[in-house]
Amino acid sequence: MPPVSLTDTVTITYTAALENGEVIEATDKPLTLSIGSATICQAVEACLFGMEAGQTRVIRVQPEDAYGLRQPELVQQIPLTVFKGRIDPKPGMILSLNVQREGRACPVPATVTAVADGMVTVDYNHPLAGKVIVYTVNLIGIAT
């Protein structure tokens, strides 16, 4: 059977991990997808080209091709009084906070990183922003 090409449908399994080996995502059963469908990360999809059924590849996806680079301006401080009577923020909590976008309030997840001196530090960056993701991809089969 020829290797993966542009119009194929493939069946894969994969594991995504941080560089320290901590698994952040893994398929629990084979995943079937059409090449070009954007079902998985583009860098992972690109690594499938030229693979043959039964092969395994390990690829390192840089932050800009995964969850993005960390943006320091997305770390902000909010007065603790804003939360008074509603919640007691603690480091590690993920909150849904409203931010203004085009004149509308939109809920956005933010991770509490610190609570000190009457201020709550929140980080709007994705928790995996700035991290290299290592994918181990197993190509189970190819349907042309």
pLDDT of residue 44: 92
Instruction: Please tell me the predicted confidence (pLDDT) of residue 78.
Output: 95
Model confidence at 144: pLDDT above 80: no
**Cα–Cα dist 38/55, whole Å:** 21
DSSP output for 87-111: ----TT-EEEEEEEETTEEEEEEEE
- Average pLDDT of the chain to the nearest whole number: 93
- Separation of alpha carbons 125 and 94, rounded Å: 11
Structural domains in the chain, sorted by start: 9-67+129-143 (3.10.50.40), 72-123 (2.40.10.330)
Q: Which tens digits make up the pLDDT trace of 106-135?
A: 999 999 999 999 999 999 999 999 999 999
Instruction: Give the pLDDT confidence of 68-79 residue by residue, as tens digits.
Output: 999 999 999 999
pLDDT tens digits, residue range 45-89? Answer: 999 999 999 999 999 999 999 999 999 999 999 999 999 888 999
**Distant-in-sequence, close-in-space partners of 104: CB < 8 Å, separation ≥ 6:** none
What is the value of pTM for the model shown? Answer: 0.82
